[in-house]
Chain A
Amino acid sequence: MRVDPTYLSSLTTSLDQTQSSLQQLTSELSSGVRVTSLSTDPVASGQNVLLLNQMQQDDSFTQSSSLVKGQLQVADSALGSVVSQLTQVITLATSANNGTMNSSNVKSISSQIAGILGEITTLANTSYQGQYIFAGGQTSTAPFSTSTATSPAVTTYSGDENINYLQMPNGGKIQLNVPGDQIFQGSGSNSVFAALNSLVADYASGAVNTTQAVADTNAVSTALNYVSQQRVTIDNSITHLTSATDAVASEQTQLTAAQTTLMQADYASVSTQLTLAETQQTALESVIAQLGSTSNSLFSKI
């Protein structure tokens, strides 16, 4: 039988291979990453790109949602204040309308309502991080201004009807704003500013035209209800956003788990393989030592 006399060098090649697999296993253990190059697992590498993409989108949504949540909450609390200010206007107007007040008291009510009107204008011009939140898309200029040139005074809206949305990773949209004129200048008797300006004018002279004043007071309560309705849109967005954030967070947890399973090393199996490779290396080394010893040569016997 013929044998390859250079068997020692092929054993050395095996030893090299064992060492390189030891190196690979050790680096898997230390980095915790299983797929260190595309060829280790081409399919997993491709999947990994998609999973990471989704995870990062979720991550971005979580960050955005905390930003817009602040803005929505500011809008909500501004509208809350508007509602309570309007309630106060109705109380004042009702007391002025009952005919028991003298002219100077009525005048003072007029100026109180004018003050409240100013306050509501300020609320309608609320800004968040320098942007006017009730201005539609024209967020750089204050949307509401009141001109007192005429009586009753006229409040004008300089914003637009633009509505912004935040897109969710699943494609759905969340409304981020309600244009100011929709809230404060609803059509007909739904306009807050029109009703308030009329009331101020009604009481300005000190003499109350009760019929007109009562009608205008009623207009304020209609407008109040209308503002509350618009506020619901904002509240809905906040609720929607909270639940979407939760859903995205749990999706992200699942994706991270999937990505970890896909790409990370399985410590138990890597350790086992490492032990096997170590055993093999020791075995190879002692075989080489045995066979390589000169006493194995026939020359040493003759």
Chain B
Amino acid sequence: MGTISSALNMMSQTLDADQSALNIVANNVANANTPGYTKETPTWQENDPILIKGTLVGDGATQTGAESQRDRVLLERLDQQQQLASASGSRLTALDSIQALFTPDSGSTSSTAGDIGSDITGFFKSFSSLEADPTDSSLRTSVLSSASTLANDVSSAAKSLNEQRSGLDQDAIGVVSQVNALTGAIAQLNTQIQSISPNADAGTLEDQRQLDLSQLSQLIGINQVSTENNGLSITTTSGQLLVSNGSNYQITSGSVSGVTHFFVGSADATAQLASGGGSLGGDLTARDTDIPNTLASLDQLAYSITTKTNAQNNAGTDANGATGAAVTSSTTGAWTLDIFSPPPTLVANTASGDTDVSGCAAAMSAVMTDPDLVTAASLGQGTGDNSNAIAMASLASQTIVNGQTPTNFYSNFVSTLGSTVSNVQTENTAQTASVTQLQTQSNALSSVNLNDEAAALTTMERSYQAASQMFAILNTVMASVLNLGEQATVT
């Protein structure tokens, strides 16, 4: 049979346990807004009962510590989704600034400035106008001014794209240095966790590690592998090792033909990182895919318009009666009556048979300054002839750019770009929604709910009060026992 003193002992233990539990509740409330903090709940254990004369007598309860409310599978899922969402998010940001260069023309005259589609039309339209009066110098001047508007808009769009590209390059370098800092921190936490808590959840340290992981997931695509003694290995999605227990491996960057490439160890991992996820993946996809694609279209457009109109202008007779002639035999060289500066020296791609036109858009510029050099007349005709102007104007309806008319080519180009942006937008919306859902699930489990804490506080308080009351009653009982019926010797 248990004794009163053992009951008193049990109550004092209970008071200790309740205090410790109240401490956990207080810690939860204190950290309600701490990023990465995981709600802790007190764990209770029934003390071993004592067998006295064949009867099991309870021996109270002990508070055995706090348990972090964490679902590792859910957290890993959240991290993975976060990687996808931030990849599409940063790609979307880049695409938004690309498409801002090609804002649709609403059709009112005030907004036509800067729209390449209108510039193309305007350029060929100026030749149509010249048909009406081939010797009119104001019409000739407007040919040159529309040519320089077109060239300026194309080249400034190409230059902006190149600037955005180097901006993304810088971004990516910044992201990689953050990644390196985080993997270093995780490696350190791994060491601490493995030495302090090899077999159980490491509480606050684990919170730190999860917070670092979720930050890392916004930056780069990773795989997590749990190792022995509560350790953690991290690889990129394509398998390059970033963290192995206590050691981390830096991602280094280096310039490869003017573009920053990233290396894990000695292997060039740029392409894998681009498809891997995280904002690094988004930046690299925009840098290595979206911007080059856009530039390639502009280059093709600039190259075709430049070479075709130069050739046609050189095939006619200008207002002074002079005809165009090649001053060099090469097809890329300058002719005497060039409207646009000839494209930079081109390299024929022997494999595909295509000409590499890269750089044509950025280099596009109108070189003709004398309006009399525009050739409205055909070869050998008088200056009043307009048949070369008709031929120039009709280039607009010929399939001179990759088998399409210049306007159709530009129209397809903007549609394609718009669709890409719109697709990435949809993708990003879906991924963000899924991140929100997972975050909600994870918060429901791991966040500090103040109402819960209030309830827990009240419960613990009551339990503490009950134990104190119990103690007081036992004390009275003990006094009665000590007095053995005598009056008021001990109270």
Contact with A along B434-448 (1 / 0, CB 8 A): 001001110111011
Report the interface size for chain A: residues with CB under 8 A from the other chain: 69
Are the CB atoms of A47 and B382 closer together than 8 Å? no
Are the CB atoms of B440 and A131 closer together than 8 Å? no
Are the CB atoms of B451 and A298 closer together than 8 Å? yes
Are the CB atoms of A38 and B454 closer together than 8 Å? no
Q: Is B387 an interface residue (CB 8 A)?
A: yes
- Knowing A135-B384, A140-B135, say if A38 contacts B440 (CB, 8 Å): no
Q: Is B73 an interface residue (CB 8 A)?
A: no
- Name the one of B102, B394, B444, B450 contacting A4, with C-beta atoms under 8 angstroms: B444
Majority secondary structure, B binding face? helix
Q: Is B305 an interface residue (CB 8 A)?
A: no
Are the CB atoms of B377 and A137 closer together than 8 Å? yes
Complexed CA–CA distance, A264 and B443 (Å): 44
Are the CB atoms of B128 and A60 closer together than 8 Å? yes
Complexed CA–CA distance, A53 and B440 (Å): 51
Tell me which residues across on chain A come within 8 A of B397, comparing CB atoms. 171
Question: Please, which residue of chain B has its CB at the minimum distance from the CB of A138?
Answer: B382
Q: Is B106 an interface residue (CB 8 A)?
A: yes
- Knowing A37-B99, A52-B107, A67-B133, say if A164 contacts B454 (CB, 8 Å): no
Are the CB atoms of B390 and A167 closer together than 8 Å? yes
- Knowing A56-B122, A57-B128, say if A5 contacts B450 (CB, 8 Å): yes
Tell me which residues across on chain A come within 8 A of B280, comparing CB atoms. none
Question: Please, which residue of chain A has its CB at the minimum distance from the CB of B414?
Answer: A45
Tell me which residues across on chain A come within 8 A of B382, comparing CB atoms. 135-140, 159-160, 162
Are the CB atoms of B136 and A129 closer together than 8 Å? yes
Which of B255-263, B349-357, B360-368, B419-427 faces chain A?
A: B419-427
Q: Is B192 an interface residue (CB 8 A)?
A: no
Contact with A along B92-120 (1 / 0, CB 8 A): 00011001101111110000000001101
- Name the one of A10, A43, A129 contacting B415, with C-beta atoms under 8 angstroms: A43
- Name the one of A42, A63, A65 contacting B419, with C-beta atoms under 8 angstroms: A42
- Knowing A5-B450, A48-B105, say if A38 contacts B414 (CB, 8 Å): yes
Q: Is B411 an interface residue (CB 8 A)?
A: yes
Highest count of chain A CB atoms <10 Å: which of B381, B393, B408: B381
Q: Is A33 an interface residue (CB 8 A)?
A: yes
Are the CB atoms of A259 and B444 closer together than 8 Å? no
Contact with B along A21-65 (1 / 0, CB 8 A): 000000000011101111111111111111011011101110111
Whole-angstrom distance between the Cβ of B384 and the nearest chain A Cβ = 3
Tell me which residues across on chain B come within 8 A of A149, comparing CB atoms. none
Q: Is B217 an interface residue (CB 8 A)?
A: no
Whole-angstrom distance between the Cβ of B112 and the nearest chain A Cβ = 8
- Name the one of B105, B121, B436, B448 contacting A57, with C-beta atoms under 8 angstroms: B121
Complexed CA–CA distance, A5 and B453 (Å): 11
- Knowing A38-B421, A137-B383, A140-B382, say if A297 contacts B105 (CB, 8 Å): no
Are the CB atoms of A37 and B100 closer together than 8 Å? yes
Whole-angstrom distance between the Cβ of B124 and the nearest chain A Cβ = 8
Whole-angstrom distance between the Cβ of A83 and the nearest chain B Cβ = 25
Task: Other than A38-B104, A136-B385, give 7 A-B pairs with Cβ distance below 8 A.
Answer: A5-B452, A36-B104, A38-B414, A49-B411, A135-B384, A137-B381, A302-B457
Closest 4 CB pairs of A and B: A139-B384, A42-B418, A137-B382, A46-B415
**Can you list 28 A-B contacts (CB < 8 A)?**
A5-B451, A37-B100, A37-B103, A39-B421, A41-B418, A43-B418, A46-B412, A49-B411, A50-B408, A53-B117, A56-B125, A57-B128, A64-B132, A67-B132, A71-B133, A131-B384, A137-B382, A139-B383, A140-B135, A159-B382, A162-B381, A164-B134, A164-B385, A164-B387, A263-B104, A263-B106, A299-B454, A302-B458
